[in-house]
Structure formats: C-alpha cells, structure tokens
Structure 1
C-alpha cells in the first residue's frame, strides 16, 4: 500500500510494490482493451472485437505476469523501443553523453516535437549508454482516461497539473511539482521535462521562463539564491532532431486553422492519435544531443532561458529536410531527399504546405541566431 503521508502521492510515478496492482487494473480496463484491439486489429467488426476481448485479457495477463517492478516495466519498454527504432527510422545517433556521469542525476530540459517519442528517445540513449532512465513530466491534459494514467505512472511519469484553476491551487501545484523535481534529483533519479508547455508545432524551440521559475519555487522556499539552486539541479539542455516528423501535417493543419478561423478545437482522441502516429510513423534519421551541465552563472530565469535556447540550437542536427525547406544547398542533400520532401509538400493544401516548409526551415535560421559561445 502507498504511504498515506507521501507528499507526492497524487503526482508521482508508481513504486515497485504498486506495479502488479496497476497492471491488473490496466488489463481489467475495458477501454484499454478496446483501444488495443482498435489500433492492432482495425478491421475487426464490433461483434468480433467483443469476442476477442477476453482472449486479449488472458494473453496480456500471461505476457505481463513476470512484470513486478518499475525496472521490469522499463526493460519491456526498451524491447519495444528497439523494434520501433528499427522499423520507423533509418538511423539513430547521439552525442554529448560522454560528458555526463552515469552515477549522477540530471534535470534534462529538452525541445519538444513529439508527445511520447521525445522522452522515449532520451531514455533510449541513456539506457544504451549505461545510465538509468528518467522520470518524465507529463501534463494532466493527456490523462483524461484512467488507463492513460496507469500506463504513464507505470512508465516513471509524474503529473504536471495544468488543469488547476485559481491562484491558491496553482501555487500549491507548482510548489508540489518543484519540490518533487528536487526530491527526484536528490534521490539520484534524473528527470525529463519539455522546455515549454506543449509541442513546438511551428518548429521554433523556445524555452518558457515560467518553467524555470517553477523549478525555483522550492529554492525560494528554502531561501537559496536562484543561481545556486539552479546549479544544484544539474540542468542539461537536450536537443532532439527528427529528419521527418510523422505529425508534421497534423501540426501544420492545426496552426493553419488557427490562422484562418481564429481558433482550433481538438478532437476527443486527437492527442492519442498524435501519440500513436509519432510512434508508428516514419522518422527517417534521429539525433539526440546532450548539452553541457549548467552551473551557477545565471541569476534570472530569463538569462537561464537564453542559455538553454543557445545550447539547444547549437546542438540541433540539421538534416537535408531542413536545408531543402530553407532553400539552402548543402552537400548532404541527395536527389532522393528532394523527391521525398517535394512529394510531402505537394500532397498538402497550399496554406498547410507553407507552414510545414517553415517548420522544417526554422532550425536553420535559429541556429545562426545563437553563435557558439567561446
């Protein structure tokens, strides 16, 4: 049973002793079973799907019977990651991990292009280089279904309460979140969090100083100066670069509709569809770059945000798709690259196509905005 005096019970991931019961709740969840059948066997009619449910539950109980701990969950996820990378990419590379210590914990602040894949890619790099995996910050907007909460908390995710309203409730939630991040770092558990709320749908990776102010809520409570407290978190900016974004057209369509109509109303399952598309869609090449640990030289959230942005863009790996979209010639561009990119753009409505081009071109422009620090 979870401790009743646990100050982080509402938001933290599951502990080892909570894993078997969470898995049983998942397998017993009709919505979860239906979702698997829908995505795995989309052509099954409703009546046949009903017949398959007890068989799938039985299969999952047997398959997951040996999963007893958080590490067991992580090892299962790792096997899925290996096959997913093999089937949906043409190469995976990483850089910068040699500067980090596998026995140390870090607060990884990364750019955010894909809901599930970004932290998964960071975890894959860490796992394959002898580091422990991270605790993942995830917004409660993605946890509208009980089965989604179970899945995320099993996978070392902790909850960011975006939906709270009212100044007092917001401050309480921010204090709890800030304290939990520091608690994790002190427990030698690294943390992954996006540099801003929501994905950079326009390709402009920009750190929101509000996230950095949240980090410091616990530092202010402890009366520690900003720069000193930030240094204690061992922040490492991370840049994730995808040659092809499986969700690019959907993101661009959302931005286009906002431009044309002034607003965009997401469908009930749109976030889930984005997660699935990000997992199964073709990404071509992927690069994950880990930056330098940030010390105590930044006195304000704004100054810190500039440094995180600088590192993220300095380490952005430009692919042919970026150069082609920006109209730049580059030795790495092949005829196949041009054909693939042109066919992508020509298949989209004009307004959406222009946003997609801008999305891929953005990193080439932004990289030059942040000259390499001497």
Structure 2
C-alpha cells in the first residue's frame, strides 16, 4: 500500500511512508461501516489507479444489458484483484448493481483479509478441500450464485482456477458443471440459462505481472512444479495494483444461449466469445512479430496478421524497453504470454471457416 501511494518515496524513505500510509488507512477504515462505505473507499482507489497506472479504461457491450436483470459474468483471468475490480467499476459507472465476486480460498489465509473481501461483496471459492467436503462446498457455492441472480445481484467468476499465465484463455468445463449444480433437478442447460451467463474478456496492454508469470512457467518447466506462498500472492496483488498497465479494455459479450447438455460444449462457447472480443494491442502483435523473426513460429498467416497492423510507436517502444530487461531464460515465455491471444484469435477464426 505504501508503494501504491508513491513508488519513488517508497524507495527513498520506506519507513516514514509506511507510517504515513498506516495512518491514512486507519482513517479510511474508521469510515467503513458497511458494504456501501467499503465500496466508496474501493472506488476512490480504483479511480486513482486508473489515473496513475493506465493510459485509460474502456469498455464495450454494456449498452446491451437491462437494469434490474442480473448476470453471471464469466471472465478470462489475468490479474488477481484488478480483473473483477475494473469490471465492477464499469458496471457501477453505467448504473448497474455491483458484483458479488468469487475469490479463491488460497488468497484468504489471513482472517482480516477474508473480512475485507466479504465487505467488498466477495464470496469464497473453496479449492483446498477434498472429496465429499469439496462436493458439498461446490453445491453450496452454486446454490449461492443462483440465489444472487434470483435476488438481482450480478456475479463475477473466473473461467478457470488461476490466472492465464501463458496468455491462453480457456474455460474449465468443471466450472460449467459447478454453476449448474445449484438446480440439480433441472437439465444442465436449463439450470445455466437461469444464470444469464455473459462471457467477459479483459485485456491489458501491458500485463503488470508479466515477468512473474514467465518466471512461474519457467520454474514449472524446469522443476516440474511451482510452490505458491501467501507472500507471493500478496506481491502479485500489489504489482497488479501499482504497476503500469497501459490501456485496459473490458468487453462484455452476448448472453450465452444455453441449449447443450455437454459442459465442454458450453465452455467452448464461452471461449469463442472471450477470444473474439479480447482487444488486441500493439504489444500482442509486437511479441508475435519477434517470435516469427526469431524462428520460434513459422506461419505465413500469422506473419500477415502482424504485418497488417497499424503500428503504435509509443506502445511498441515501451514494450521493447520492457523486453530488454527480461532475463534470457524467461524471454520466450514472456513473448508467448503476449503473442498467444493473437494466435488464439487466428485459430478461432480459422476453425469457424
């Protein structure tokens, strides 16, 4: 939080800045008495984050929705906190009810964090349970999500467990099955239809955790595993809040037409909307161009896509400067993290033809 207030001062006078930040937080927390007052605090910091860490926040698709009709927004997942936060802010600005947000229990190791999440209309998605306990927790979760929608409360949930560290957005069919569990007596498609599911694609011109993600993927590839820690999660949360993101765009898709009993087919329908609606930036095309030039990819169609873009000089130059700081062993993974959304778009469109 001190770094969020001022990254430069956090380097020069960290102790003093921490004390000042602690006092400011205490004043803010004293003003929080309920969900409404908590969300006012969050809105203040979100507006500040947009001013200081982005080149702008935009959206498309919200004009299609009717006030008073709730939806389950199934989103791709790039940042732990900022994905639902940006989506929530855009809904609020457009006059829609704010979100009930699904949060993994791995982020709630400290009780005070869990309490703050609940104050911000978050509910816990249990991932650490096993066997019958997990089944019962998923049943309860699904029933709660159905209750929210019936009570005109919008819901946000990620399309799969964990962020898409490689830039490939894929919906887990297990999520689809969980969403349907709340109305087990109904066919899957009918249960899902009652949730008014809307796929959401959020894109960051610059991923604030791009190096972290490349390092994690590298560790998995070289050692076979990656050990998550509470401290690491908090570091990623802080980076997502404080580091530069360039332009951020949230695309709200069409309400899903649930006519299929196959969870994998439903997941694929969500994926198609997310991939097609995902806003591609110069950073995505620049990464693809470099991979093609270095022989990591060999595709005339992808080269044509990269060559046919209108080059954004500002974005390209900043991307090149950031790439120059990336360690050699992480470079390829870093580039694919940005290039994969273009590759996914090409594959999606090729499959439709």
Matched, 1:137 2:102: yes
Aligned match for 1:273, one of 218, 235, 243? 235
Residue in structure 1 matched with residue 332 of structure 2 by the alignment: 354
The DSSP-based 3-state class of the residue aligned with 1:188 is coil
Distance 1:196 1:63, change over 3 A: closer
Aligned-residue offset at 1:218: 1.7
Aligned match for 2:148, one of 172, 184, 206? 184
Matched, 1:260 2:214: no
CA contact (8 A) 2:4 2:242 kept: no
Deviations 1:191-211 (A, max 9, x none): 000000000000000000001
Using the alignment, how far apart are the partners of 2:246 and 2:2 within structure 1?
28
Using the alignment, how far apart are the partners of 1:65 and 1:252 within structure 2?
39
Higher deviation after alignment, 364-373 or 267-276 = 364-373
Aligned match for 1:97, one of 55, 62, 77? 62
Gaps of 5+ in 2: 290-305
Higher deviation after alignment, 105-114 or 72-81 = 72-81
Residue in structure 2 matched with residue 369 of structure 1 by the alignment: 347
Equivalent positions of 1:1-374 (< 5 A) are 52=19, 56=22, 60-165=25-130, 167-220=131-184, 223-327=185-289, 328-371=306-349
CA contact (8 A) 2:107 2:230 kept: no
CA contact (8 A) 1:247 1:274 kept: yes
Aligned-residue offset at 1:42: 6.5
Using the alignment, how far apart are the partners of 1:306 and 1:345 within structure 2?
33
The DSSP-based 3-state class of the residue aligned with 1:333 is coil
Using the alignment, how far apart are the partners of 2:347 and 2:107 within structure 1?
33
Using the alignment, how far apart are the partners of 1:248 and 1:96 within structure 2?
27
Aligned-residue offset at 1:146: 1.5
Distance 1:232 1:333, change over 3 A: same
Distance 1:88 1:154, change over 3 A: same
Aligned-residue offset at 1:102: 2.1
Aligned-residue offset at 1:283: 0.3
Higher deviation after alignment, 127-136 or 322-331 = 322-331
Higher deviation after alignment, 302-311 or 336-345 = 336-345
Using the alignment, how far apart are the partners of 1:311 and 1:302 within structure 2?
15
Using the alignment, how far apart are the partners of 1:62 and 1:111 within structure 2?
35
Higher deviation after alignment, 255-264 or 311-320 = 255-264
TM-score of the two chains, using structure 1 as the length reference: 0.83
CA contact (8 A) 2:28 2:41 kept: no
Aligned-residue offset at 1:369: 2.3
TM-score of the two chains, using structure 2 as the length reference: 0.88
CA RMSD of superposed structures (Å): 2.3
Aligned-residue offset at 1:247: 0.2
Distance 1:38 1:365, change over 3 A: closer
Using the alignment, how far apart are the partners of 1:174 and 1:267 within structure 2?
24
Higher deviation after alignment, 94-103 or 60-69 = 60-69
Residue in structure 2 matched with residue 25 of structure 1 by the alignment: none
Distance 1:362 1:225, change over 3 A: same
Higher helix share: 2
Higher deviation after alignment, 338-347 or 195-204 = 338-347
Paired residues in the alignment total 332
